Chains A and B, each alone.
Chain A
């Protein structure tokens, strides 16, 4: 049963035409969705990286502005001038330098602002002596290069502030006694066209750590790495999510080269996105950037497993849907193909039955026609004898003045002649049907045919008090045809007309027409018009069928076999022409025979 289904040709046709496009479309859709999602993940990581860099840049910029603003503050300028005077007098500047209410207000504002963790505010003279320190009053009066800051970048910053005259920030570095790495921001204190000193702000990295460690948008496995590259090794500036910095440094030998190279590229100002293994050996998607305000490299990453989990989910769903759809298509294909196969078999069986029946029917019809042809011939011989002897008897009766017999003999003669007519018609029919008619084609003069027909038919027409009108166009001269058959057809039409017309007129019109084709062959038309009883549309329909008259009741009234018109039609067709009729009840009928003047086509 199952095996049968698979061998159905329709089954495979349906599977191919339905399942193949379905699977192809599904595959393409998955590919498009996968690409879109990968791009989205990359874009998302880029966006996170850009935002973090912008946050860090803005933070540093704000810190620089804070320093610059404080450096221009009147209370700072006054304090530096005051301290400078004291130094000139070789006195230690007072620790209460910035204890004025305005100074206190601003300092409190800058040092308590959330997100900004300033640790100290130091004022230096142009020569580098410490004029003031907010948190470490003990260093006031010391030269900077002898204080505890002598090993820090504060020294270089001081030098830059006094010569480049711009606000600069140092790297974050470990400072003695400080919990977290700290950086210095130094700005020159200017009064018109003279340099009064340098203001230094000290701050730790907590705000930046917060930005870097913010895991928003990074799910369960994402993280942000920032740091420098020292001797081709990554030196993280902020603690990692999945390892301590010392563990990370310990395993830096086994780092994926792609990961290391991406980080080095970032430290050199390049940016990009790619797949790699991180320090845990996990497959991650990363985006890397340069952080200009700190000169750091930044790498934002997310585990591929997590980032692409929607793709995996989608693929699984698609597989399930695909299998279901395929199953559905197969079921439908099996059902439909069985139906189709069955219908086709039934149809083929019916077709072959019909063919057999048709052959049998044709055979039977032929046998019947042959039988009729033979029988007609056999019937005609005794009938001819009857007619012949009747005529002899009639002559005898006339000679002997036996008028009593004469009338009876006339009736016999008429009946026998009528019977012979019927048999001849049946003979013609059977010859036509068994294909035994042979045409005898010759050139004939139309006028002579018409004349002989006129002679033959005039008495018949006049019997019902009808008038016979003959119109023969002079150009209709010759026709190549079988004169016997043509005469038979015309006589049949004219006698029919005479039969169904009383006190009217019957017209025979002969014309020649030219075919409306390229060849322009001449055609002869014979038009027989009567003013008789006419026919209804249903009667006309049956007119040219064998064994039928316009109405069964007519047969009784007017006699005849009902074969005449059928035979005429077949003869006309054999002669290469046709016969048509136009009729209206009570008005009369018009029969037209069209025949090619040059005879039927070979």
Chain B
């Protein structure tokens, strides 16, 4: 009994309908796994204003990592969609945009801020709305939050080893100079404690208003006290007249080296490296690190942003931060903040600088400490390295945690509820 043609068509149509129904059922049951809506990542940095020079580099590092991950197929089959906003180097704008990214854009994570005043301004917002902030810059420590992953160096990974290195190699009489906001004040407080315990001497401590060019009084003070070394926490353009002034006053790096904590390759490219040759900086990452991972990173960065460009610690920190977060999302099998907050703990990576690892207790990052010497080409020669990553200790052991917290509160009150000295602001 052969199948009649019309019956054959009916059978085929019926089978197709059945197949379609099966597919629809499958899609309906597994719709969560099949949706490929992009994962939104907030990028909250200054793209304009005084901080833009530094922060644009971090944005570039973060976007490079996002582009690489997307090119490799995204995370959990989903693309990463950066939501880039401009904090305009203005604290109130940062606060408004942080709230908007968390509550309106509903981003899965925010990478943002450069200055400590910025971080301290948005910290209560991230805690109130339960957001997740990855902070990519070295800082003064004395802080931790369940809503912030501190990718940057804590004092015991940057400042304290640098002071120890100077004590071992240069001398014990130090001159402290910094910009007039929370990071230099707190950093110098930590330095003072350490130097005192080491039996060293602070021969001067000066603060310059953010963005000022008037460095002459400080230079003359340095000339008069003749320190063994200068610890520099000046941020931004003021470094240009400062180093020029040192050079003109014949304060040479051979006799009185400057150890800077906020000058990396990117800042050197905007300053005059020739004025600064022989001085030092302390970071985890230098572009001159000789490893296949770093060579690939530098080459990819230049391919994307231009052959003449330089990489530095904050750029690299933004870059590996995205990768650490992506690993946590993959492990959590979800981009939800509550899950990522759990899986980000103990994430580790072979970054361009070497091993990085998220400490589960304080969400700070284990990183290798290094000291570099400035060359005339704007690069650093690495003169010392901790070899193994250093466990981050946000509260230095030289004082109790309550003492550090009290110190910060007093600073905040002295500045009338701000994280920078409004009195010296231009």
Residues of chain A at the chain B interface (Cβ within 8 Å): 50, 53-54, 57, 61, 68, 160, 162-167, 187-188, 190, 193-195, 265, 268-271, 289-290, 292-293, 295, 344
Known: A188-B397, A193-B193. A163 touches B168 (CB 8 A): yes
Closest to B197 in A: A195
* Ranked 4 nearest A-B pairs via Cβ: A269-B355, A163-B164, A268-B350, A269-B348
Complex Cα distance A268/B196, Å?
37
Complex Cα distance A162/B194, Å?
10
Residues of chain B at the chain A interface (Cβ within 8 Å): 1, 156, 160-161, 163-164, 167-168, 193-194, 196-199, 327, 346, 348-351, 354-357, 359-361, 366, 388-389, 391, 393, 396-398
Complex Cα distance A164/B165, Å?
10
For this complex, 27 residue pairs linking A to B, each with C-beta atoms less than 8 Å apart, are A50-B346, A53-B346, A68-B397, A163-B163, A163-B167, A164-B161, A165-B160, A165-B194, A165-B197, A165-B396, A166-B156, A166-B393, A166-B396, A166-B397, A188-B397, A190-B397, A193-B197, A268-B350, A269-B348, A269-B351, A270-B348, A289-B348, A290-B348, A292-B366, A292-B389, A293-B391, A295-B389
Complex Cα distance A318/B198, Å?
74
Chain B residues whose C-beta falls within 8 Å of the C-beta of A188 in the assembled complex: 197, 397
Let me know if B198 and A195 touch, CB within 8 A: yes
Chain B residues whose C-beta falls within 8 Å of the C-beta of A53 in the assembled complex: 346
Known: A167-B397, A270-B348, A270-B350. A162 touches B1 (CB 8 A): no
Chain B residues whose C-beta falls within 8 Å of the C-beta of A292 in the assembled complex: 348, 355, 357, 359, 366, 389, 391
Chain A residues whose C-beta falls within 8 Å of the C-beta of B354 in the assembled complex: 268-269
Let me know if B197 and A194 touch, CB within 8 A: yes
| Least CB distance, B14 to chain A, in whole angstroms | 13
Complex Cα distance A422/B361, Å?
120
* Given A270-B349, A295-B389, 5 other A-B residues pairs in contact with their CB atoms under 8 A: A53-B346, A165-B397, A188-B197, A269-B349, A290-B348
Chain B residues whose C-beta falls within 8 Å of the C-beta of A289 in the assembled complex: 348
| Least CB distance, B228 to chain A, in whole angstroms | 15
Tell me if A's interface is mostly helix, strand, loop or mixed: mixed
Let me know if B197 and A190 touch, CB within 8 A: yes
Complex Cα distance A50/B156, Å?
26
Chain A residues whose C-beta falls within 8 Å of the C-beta of B360 in the assembled complex: 54, 57
Let me know if A54 and B350 touch, CB within 8 A: no
Chain B residues whose C-beta falls within 8 Å of the C-beta of A54 in the assembled complex: 346, 360
Chain A residues whose C-beta falls within 8 Å of the C-beta of B156 in the assembled complex: 164, 166
Complex Cα distance A163/B196, Å?
11
Q: Which of B1, B355, B398 contacts A290 (CB 8 A)?
A: B355
| Least CB distance, B42 to chain A, in whole angstroms | 26
Let me know if A163 and B350 touch, CB within 8 A: no
| Least CB distance, A452 to chain B, in whole angstroms | 56
Chain B residues whose C-beta falls within 8 Å of the C-beta of A265 in the assembled complex: 350
Known: A165-B398, A166-B393, A167-B397. A269 touches B357 (CB 8 A): yes
Known: A193-B196, A292-B391. A166 touches B348 (CB 8 A): no
Let me know if A166 and B160 touch, CB within 8 A: yes
Chain B residues whose C-beta falls within 8 Å of the C-beta of A167 in the assembled complex: 397
Complex Cα distance A369/B254, Å?
140
- Central interface residue in A160, A190, A268, by most chain B CB within 10 Å: A268
Closest to A265 in B: B350
Chain B residues whose C-beta falls within 8 Å of the C-beta of A290 in the assembled complex: 348, 355, 357
Chain A residues whose C-beta falls within 8 Å of the C-beta of B199 in the assembled complex: 195
Complex Cα distance A53/B348, Å?
12
| Least CB distance, B371 to chain A, in whole angstroms | 13
| Least CB distance, A180 to chain B, in whole angstroms | 22
| Least CB distance, B51 to chain A, in whole angstroms | 31
Closest to A46 in B: B331
Complex Cα distance A270/B396, Å?
29
- Central interface residue in A187, A265, A293, by most chain B CB within 10 Å: A293
Complex Cα distance A61/B389, Å?
16
Chain A residues whose C-beta falls within 8 Å of the C-beta of B351 in the assembled complex: 269
| Least CB distance, A446 to chain B, in whole angstroms | 49
Let me know if A269 and B350 touch, CB within 8 A: yes
Chain B residues whose C-beta falls within 8 Å of the C-beta of A293 in the assembled complex: 391
Chain A residues whose C-beta falls within 8 Å of the C-beta of B391 in the assembled complex: 292-293
| Least CB distance, B248 to chain A, in whole angstroms | 34
Complex Cα distance A213/B104, Å?
50
Let me know if B160 and A164 touch, CB within 8 A: yes
Closest to A160 in B: B164
Complex Cα distance A41/B154, Å?
38
Closest to A167 in B: B397
Chain B residues whose C-beta falls within 8 Å of the C-beta of A193 in the assembled complex: 193, 196-197
Chain A residues whose C-beta falls within 8 Å of the C-beta of B163 in the assembled complex: 163
Let me know if A268 and B355 touch, CB within 8 A: yes
Complex Cα distance A280/B349, Å?
29
Complex Cα distance A187/B389, Å?
19
Complex Cα distance A163/B161, Å?
8
Chain A residues whose C-beta falls within 8 Å of the C-beta of B348 in the assembled complex: 269-271, 289-290, 292
Chain B residues whose C-beta falls within 8 Å of the C-beta of A166 in the assembled complex: 156, 160, 393, 396-397
Complex Cα distance A167/B348, Å?
23
Let me know if B198 and A162 touch, CB within 8 A: yes
| Least CB distance, A319 to chain B, in whole angstroms | 26
Complex Cα distance A50/B347, Å?
10
Complex Cα distance A56/B309, Å?
42
| Least CB distance, A13 to chain B, in whole angstroms | 10
Complex Cα distance A214/B348, Å?
24
Chain B residues whose C-beta falls within 8 Å of the C-beta of A268 in the assembled complex: 350, 354-355
Complex Cα distance A408/B26, Å?
99
Complex Cα distance A162/B348, Å?
30
Complex Cα distance A188/B163, Å?
17
| Least CB distance, B119 to chain A, in whole angstroms | 23
Closest to A10 in B: B1
| Least CB distance, B194 to chain A, in whole angstroms | 6
Closest to A64 in B: B391
Complex Cα distance A54/B397, Å?
24
Complex Cα distance A289/B327, Å?
13
Complex Cα distance A54/B342, Å?
14
| Least CB distance, A226 to chain B, in whole angstroms | 15
Chain A residues whose C-beta falls within 8 Å of the C-beta of B389 in the assembled complex: 269, 292, 295
Chain B residues whose C-beta falls within 8 Å of the C-beta of A195 in the assembled complex: 197-199
Q: Which of A61, A190, A270, A271 contacts B398 (CB 8 A)?
A: A190
Chain A residues whose C-beta falls within 8 Å of the C-beta of B327 in the assembled complex: 271
Closest to B1 in A: A344
Complex Cα distance A270/B324, Å?
11
